[in-house]
Amino acid sequence: MSERERIPLPDFRTLEVPLEFAARLDAVGVRLDAAVLAEVGGFLGLLLAMNERVNLTAIVEPGAVWERHALDALSLLPDLTELSEGARVADLGSGGGVPAIPLALARRELAFTLVESIHKKAAFLDDAARRFGLERVEVLAERAEDVGRGPKQGTFDAVTARAVAKLSALVPLAAPLLRPLGRMIFIKGQRAGDELSEAAGALRRARVRHLATRATPTGRVVVLEKLPER
């Protein structure tokens, strides 16, 4: 990314963690130190401040930001528990950094690759990762399909995404990135079941199987697994 694509990070105020937020996380099986939650609040504050310069989110009320961004993102943590230090996670269509940045703050030992084709957003993500000392985060200002055809093909242990595309389109983008038995962990809405039915052919062609769909306070998480080659 060239320097001309970078908009300097603005001053920002950390969003205070809501009193009930720890209990909301506990309900989905997640417990985080207060220091990590404070960092998440810092990122949310930066996101809102930067949103005044670059269109990153339509959600701007602090309580809704904690619910729709932080809780949404951190609800994926139970699906990452089996990943050991250095495991590689790709996040497709990273946009304003949700879910990838909160996940990276919570699991600093994992290596996150954020894929975002809009260069101004990618530059923000890169600067935000540096601002919060996320040394294992890299940002690619590329299209997901191009990354899947490049040297990173088949190198990731997990792929995450939120609000990128329906499963029928998302699975073909994610599958080439995964190693055998790697997992796709996608944030979806109430129609996740319908999307799965519509994507049956795409799953079959990509040699992907459905492992689980679980409800969260903000929607559904769909977990898929890439099968080994015959």
Q: What is the pLDDT of residue 207?
A: 97
Confidence of residue 4 (pLDDT cuts 50, 70, 90): low
Answer yes or no: is 20 within a domain: yes
pLDDT in tens, 66-114: 999 999 999 999 999 999 999 999 999 999 999 999 999 999 999 999 9
Answer yes or no: is 4 within a domain: no
On whether the CB atoms of residues 166 and 191 are closer than 8 A, the answer is no
Q: What is the pLDDT of residue 5?
A: 65
Q: What percent of the chain stands above pLDDT 70?
A: 98
Peptide bond into 99 cis (omega under 30): yes
Answer yes or no: is 2 within a domain: no
Calculated CA dihedral for residues 121, 127, 130, 131, nearest 10 degrees: -110
Q: CA-to-CA distance for 215 and 126, rounded, in angstroms?
A: 31
pLDDT in tens, 153-176: 999 999 999 989 999 999 999 999
Collapsing DSSP states into helix, strand and coil, what is residue 189?
A: coil
Q: What is the pLDDT of residue 6?
A: 79
- pTM for this one? 0.96
Q: Which CATH number does the domain housing residue 95 bear?
A: 3.40.50.150
Answer yes or no: is 118 within a domain: yes
Q: Give the structural domain span for 95.
A: 11-226
Distances from the Cα of 24 to the Cαs of 28, 75, 111, 143, 208, in angstroms? 7, 10, 26, 34, 32
Answer yes or no: is 16 within a domain: yes
pLDDT in tens, 174-203: 999 999 999 999 999 999 999 999 999 999
Q: What is the pLDDT of residue 3?
A: 59
Answer yes or no: is 65 within a domain: yes
